[in-house]
Amino acid sequence: MNGRTAQRIARTAVFTAGALTGMTLASAGLLASQAEAARRTIPLAEGPPPRADGVFGAKFGGRPLVLAVLGDSTAAGYGVLRTRETPGALLATGLSRRLRRPVRLHRFAVVGAITDGLRHQVQDALEVRPDLAVILIGANDVTKRTPVTVAARQLADTVGALRGVGAEVVVGTCPDLGTIRPIKPPLRWLARRWSRQLAEAQTIAVVEAGGRTVSLGDLLGPRFFAEPTRMFAWDHFHPSADGYAVAAAAMLPTAVAALGVPSAQASTLSLDQGVRSLSDAAQEAVKHAGTEVSAERVAGRDRGPLGRWVRLRRLAVMPRQQTPDQDTAAVPLDKALSGKGDMTPQESTDGRGHDGMM
């Protein structure tokens, strides 16, 4: 995101039906001034994020599990300087250690991507026939005001294409842009509302298409506000290395469970949230960051009177900067998720995309 993105939020706020009922000219002027302030605060992107494509955990031997990462700048790891700090590298390392097997990472995510852009990414991803695909998308759809129904349908198409080749799919739903400090109220409140509307629609679309979701929401929000210089990157918008590590730790249990290893999931997810309809679960997940939503069967049926059955699993509270490991005692995040010594870099393109957006 950059200043032009913030201005788009303000402009769209004025014209979005129902979003600003009773809005006065004075409040419209306030939004415009806030957009200008955000433009000065959030700089343009200075270059592509580092690439981490390669093999992680080669020491385990055997056929590598193929991991594809699709999405926008948060999926690409914009804001960090080292390959091992990108979300793809963190997830690949975590998976290789949990599963005791090598993981081959392919990053297709592009800075600035909106959900419509996934159709290009998924075509490349299908060529590598991934065992697991992780998608992080949505923030740019909020800032560009892509209609929620359109973005959800495009995401469902992407998930369906990946499931069609046998890949398990985990989607981190739209983050809460209301946690971004350069965006001030009331612009922040609008960004939060739009983010949550999209995240809810994404949850329904993904699960109906055969994937799983993890709500990111304001997962990093409280810590961002408490430690902004640590959890934010230099642009005050994208996560820092520590911020990405927290997000990766939240998604890792679901990624492991999607691959058929449920025992590893129990260590970091509470299993007492129960089974409910998909629409109810989507609303609940938006309220609680770190909540997984996955399809479930009840009495041999996948649907009830209110629609598809799903199970909610909520991220358990973890010690500061630690994540439980199934095989050992709790270890620091940088030990559990980092790629030090585990990656074999491979040649790849630089992944340059649009300017300065997620």
The CATH number for 64's domain is 3.40.50.1110
- Catalytic-residue membership of 277: no
In a domain, 14, yes or no: no
Q: Which of 73, 96, 195, 338 is catalytic?
A: 73
C-alpha 89/C-alpha 107 separation (Å) is 9
Q: Which of 72, 131, 141, 235 is catalytic?
A: 235
In a domain, 12, yes or no: no
Q: Which of 53, 141, 195, 238 is catalytic?
A: 238
- Catalytic-residue membership of 334: no
Residue 103: how many CB atoms within 10 A of its CB? 29
In a domain, 8, yes or no: no
In a domain, 284, yes or no: yes
Global pTM reads 0.79
| pLDDT string in tens for the chain (358-residue length) | 444 544 454 444 444 434 444 434 444 455 445 545 544 554 455 567 889 999 999 999 999 999 999 999 999 998 888 899 999 999 999 999 999 999 999 999 998 899 999 999 999 999 999 999 999 999 889 888 899 999 999 999 999 999 999 999 999 999 887 776 666 777 778 888 999 999 999 999 999 999 999 999 876 666 665 665 665 555 556 777 788 888 899 999 999 999 988 654 445 556 557 899 999 999 999 998 889 999 999 999 999 998 999 999 887 654 343 333 333 223 334 444 433 434 444 333 333 333 334 5
What is each CA distance from 214 to 101, 186, 271, in whole angstroms?
Answer: 24, 27, 14
In a domain, 164, yes or no: yes
Beta strands of the chain (E only): which ranges? 54-56, 65-71, 103-107, 132-136, 168-172, 212-214, 269-270, 275-277, 291-295, 303-304, 307-315, 322-323, 331-332, 343-345
In a domain, 321, yes or no: yes
Say how many domains are in the chain: 1
- Catalytic-residue membership of 215: no
In a domain, 354, yes or no: no
Expressed as residue numbers, the domain containing 122 is 49-345
In a domain, 36, yes or no: no
